[in-house]
Structure 1
């Protein structure tokens, strides 16, 4: 498994331990504690203020909630010079009145949070995103509710009061489930005021009631989108697209015709499903695993080879699959196979294991000439499997927590 990119990712992996994913994820509430200073190195009031000062959080999304209600955008957004931007006077006025600020997909705009989010994905092995919640006093954004994904909550600043009630039905989905707050179970299974550094895992479908715990609260929620049986069924249906009966138009009239077509579709799906397993689904997802479409200028355009001091980093969140076939080294990622000379295999192994390393160190560890490693990195760069930066760029990136 590749190394983690951030201090927070490494700390979470150590604190959660090897049994979390196999035994506790999705099955029970888990409480852990991290060093508050370490957590706050990944996000702070200063960085939130910088984001809000821009006037826009795109491509992330910002919303305000109060007492379970989504406040309409026109109450805190204005048009200036043809662009929709935040009206911070209105934002802060609403927050003084009890509104909570939420930034969905914070990982899309903040490098340190992005690195930590990708690390959580490496720990769990599932798609992950990160949302941020800011609450003041004892306000609450939502009524008692459950999430349709497993979550990992990290309290960054201030305190927040949590009650976890457990599930009212098994394994709800966005497409299926009763989310009426009146059906929240009365019993409280876990209750605690989270403080900076505290971490809590809440399984999918477990109701919780959350309120601000004092003057202010800022926490990050990592949403873990784990595949379900519904996802497998949809994947099987997609695999059946080569069957003409699946692609043809449905009959709008004629009871006999409709019944015959339905029987053909059921048969086509069942025949396809018989030849596929759940592991086939996971294997296909692993082969297609990609990453964020990161820019690495000037190296993305330059024709010159990167030097020994340049830093190469895998662009895929999960390590590419590495294999040897027909005397060639084959890297599989993004649903593509990249065949390379067998002489590059040792360097590929080190890169997949280390994830981020200088070209010179990669050459040393793989006993490969620097020039050959530079050629390899250039090829992987063109395939969008890696990014390349120089050491000065790494030092200048103040938002990166590595």
Structure 2
């Protein structure tokens, strides 16, 4: 199972200080075991993805020794539904890989459910959006030169081996993709060095320089990347709130006297300081969580034909982060906010929602029993939740 890979398996291997002191601040190495990560991706599953999905540059691309391989070397133009599109040529792809190219496939979490489940679990751990890219290489070459990333990463080795050197933070701490200073230079020496094998995980913080090379063997690894909220995100949120302040909506007094412009400036500074003082950090993070996107997914035919689920129907909770449940002031219902939308449901939905938020996937029968809600009421609640895209309903599991 990959849906608890980070919140349970990795956290147990690293320790409870993972989030409080080590995340984004230290190199973290853990050996979870090859069998633990095997369900994430196999070569057979990857071959199926390449066969059935319309993948082409820039989403699927090749690099060799720090430079991109021209797509014309491994693609051709084909036709689908009378429209021209770019296709990967299998023979050309094999040739480039034999010659030391590194294959990169972006956002594989949106293509392969086991990786998607692990990505959702990582997002529940760090409470930030995440994306997973695949890296595949043969031989002792490298796809990229020594570099740093503008996001935090967890590297999960799924097949073969790869050599890593983590050099540490460079001359500019916490560099960003959009930054005023582009002279970020690497430090001397190496903080961590080793060869990753299947089942091993490495965390490299944002802005830390690293060098990655093949070992002569095949290597297939997944890079789980996520970008944490910063003070700049807090400040952007503050700016949005300033639309409610009349003085900030008013035109600047460009043609007034210097004294009038100075008074206007002083008023803006005062109001800005007052707004910043009242822009609580905890409230900002809570609002950010409430707007956290849900992964796109569909539940046909249930959401359309309003069919009643049976006891063995599988229920999957859609929100990635467990939403806070709020009681209505009149005590007549419960409310929750998901992806920026607020939903109000009758009070009987509360124990069902609480159990779903904790367990995420249950059969209808299990959900009714654990929540202490009659089966008929549970089914009624689920019919409402699936219409609002808060749950997915699937056919019953074998053996249930």
TM-score (norm 1): 0.88
Select 2:71's aligned residue among 70, 73, 77: 73
Hey, what's the Cα distance between the residues in 1 that align with 2:252 and 2:68?
39
1:231 is aligned to 2:233:
yes
Matches within 5 A, 1:134-145: 134-145=136-147
Would you say the 8 A contact 2:153–2:225 is kept in 1? yes
Change (3 A) 1:135 1:178: farther
Change (3 A) 1:144 1:373: same
Hey, what's the Cα distance between the residues in 2 that align with 1:55 and 1:340?
39
Select 1:24's aligned residue among 22, 25, 33: 22
Select 1:304's aligned residue among 293, 304, 307: 307
- Partner residue in 2 for 1:63: 61
Deviation for aligned residue 1:173: 0.5
- Partner residue in 2 for 1:400: none
Change (3 A) 1:145 1:262: farther
Q: 3-state SS of the aligned residue for 2:304?
A: coil
Larger mean CA deviation between 69-78 and 361-370 belongs to 69-78
Matches within 5 A, 1:278-293: 278-293=281-296
- Partner residue in 1 for 2:123: 121
Deviation for aligned residue 1:324: 1.7
Matches within 5 A, 1:115-194: 115-168=117-170, 169-176=172-179, 183-194=185-196
Hey, what's the Cα distance between the residues in 2 that align with 1:78 and 1:320?
46
Change (3 A) 1:78 1:263: farther
Hey, what's the Cα distance between the residues in 2 that align with 1:253 and 1:91?
64
User: Which runs of 5 or more structure 1 residues have no equivalent in the other structure?
Assistant: 396-402
CA offsets, 1:338-390, max 9 Å, x none?
Answer: 22222232222212211111111111112211110011111111111111111
Select 1:220's aligned residue among 209, 219, 222: 222
Q: 3-state SS of the aligned residue for 1:115?
A: helix
The count of aligned residue pairs is: 391
- Partner residue in 2 for 1:41: 39
Deviation for aligned residue 1:250: 7.8
Deviation for aligned residue 1:4: 7.6
CA offsets, 1:44-64, max 9 Å, x none?
Answer: 111111122236237992121
Would you say the 8 A contact 2:299–2:386 is kept in 1? no
- Partner residue in 2 for 1:319: 322
Hey, what's the Cα distance between the residues in 2 that align with 1:245 and 1:209?
51
CA offsets, 1:263-309, max 9 Å, x none?
Answer: 77655544432320221210111222231021111112112221221
Deviation for aligned residue 1:191: 0.6
User: Which runs of 5 or more structure 2 residues have no equivalent in the other structure?
Assistant: none
Deviation for aligned residue 1:28: 0.9
Select 2:379's aligned residue among 374, 377, 394: 374
CA offsets, 1:83-122, max 9 Å, x none?
Answer: 2221222222222222111111110111000001111111
1:351 is aligned to 2:356:
yes
Deviation for aligned residue 1:259: 8.2
Change (3 A) 1:253 1:190: farther
Change (3 A) 1:207 1:253: farther
Structure showing greater relative contact order (alpha-carbon pairs closer than 8 Å, 6 or more residues apart): 1
Hey, what's the Cα distance between the residues in 1 that align with 2:308 and 2:57?
32
Q: 3-state SS of the aligned residue for 2:161?
A: strand
Hey, what's the Cα distance between the residues in 1 that align with 2:250 and 2:63?
45
1:206 is aligned to 2:208:
yes
Would you say the 8 A contact 1:312–1:386 is kept in 2? yes
Would you say the 8 A contact 2:6–2:122 is kept in 1? no
Hey, what's the Cα distance between the residues in 1 that align with 2:272 and 2:57?
38
- Partner residue in 2 for 1:337: 342
TM-score (norm 2): 0.89
Larger mean CA deviation between 150-159 and 326-335 belongs to 326-335
Change (3 A) 1:261 1:8: same
Hey, what's the Cα distance between the residues in 2 that align with 1:217 and 1:323?
48
Would you say the 8 A contact 1:324–1:330 is kept in 2? yes
